Amino acid sequence: MFEIGTTLRDARVRRDISLQQAEDDTKIRVKYIQAMENEDFDVLPAGTYVKGFLRTYAEYLDLDAQLLIDEFNERFGNGEHREHVIQPTRAVKAEAAPKTRRKHQTNYILVAILAVVIIAVLAYLGWGNSSSQSPTFVTTTETEASTQTTATVPAETTRRPAVTPTQTQPETLQNIIFSATTDDVWIEVHKTSADGEIVWQDTLLAGESQTLEQKDFAGQTKLWLMVGRIEGLKVSVNGLPQKLGEDVSDIYVITASGMARQA
């Protein structure tokens, strides 16, 4: 066992690199670099980002990145050391909903019973007032009755032909374009999962662009994206511009239909 933070700090000091220079070169913010050197990993985003930052920073300092990541996994598990528990507040509301519906249904039944009683009373009073009047009989001729009961049969010619639904081919992930507009941006793309094999990793300088095509990600249908700095980055998938959030810890899943934050 060795100290991850001490190893990183000693390597930076030996190379006479300041924290600000390290941030400028790696695009990892100073507070995250200090957190790694102090082994205060709770300051960093999710565990997947910790390993991404460790890899980038270790390679920048000419250290064995995989050795540091293995040590991190040994001491902190998968790196998912900052799981947050979400209280099931929606479940409480869901339980209360049936009670409200039952209450409404009871009210409707009472209103219906009351309406029936009122109608019965009015009908009784009305029958008593009109009992002295002679009933009026309505007669219809046989011809009129037959006319009223005759149903109209639509002609065969009015039937619409059956419509056969057309099948569309599923879309595939054709290309992804990354563009750094105002700032340098560190980017890392994985396949299989956020911890999977790295498909492409680099730092785009302001004004630079990079296009990944099918041959670059071996025809994968789903990719995972992590970025070190959101500001100044634009992403398009299959020619359609995508929207990024404001949190650097977000991990994005890229498919043929676009890009979305991982839940």
Looking only at the bridges linking them, the beta strands covering 175-180 and 209-213 are antiparallel
72: which residues sit within 8 A by CB, 6+ positions away?
A: 4, 41, 50, 51, 54, 79
Residue 64 pLDDT: 93
Residue 81 pLDDT: 46
Region 170-183: mean pLDDT is 86
Confidence of residue 143 (pLDDT cuts 50, 70, 90): very low
pLDDT in tens, 74-98: 887 654 444 333 333 343 344 444 5
Residue 117 pLDDT: 82
Per domain, the residue ranges of the chain are 4-76, 175-261
Higher pLDDT pick, 99 / 71: 71
Confidence of residue 223 (pLDDT cuts 50, 70, 90): very high
Residue 66 pLDDT: 92
Helix (H, G, I), strand (E, B) or coil at 153: coil
**The overall pTM is greater than 0.75:** no
For residue 41, is pLDDT > 70? Answer: yes
What letter represents residue 204's amino acid? L
Q: Which CATH number fits domain 4-76: 1.20.1090.10, 3.40.50.12780, 1.10.260.40, 3.90.1170.50?
A: 1.10.260.40
Confidence of residue 22 (pLDDT cuts 50, 70, 90): very high
Token code pair at residue 89: 């507040």
190 sits in the region (left: phi over 0; alpha: psi -120 to 50; else beta) called beta
Q: How far is CA 233 from the centre of its chain?
A: 20
Average pLDDT of every residue of the chain: 76
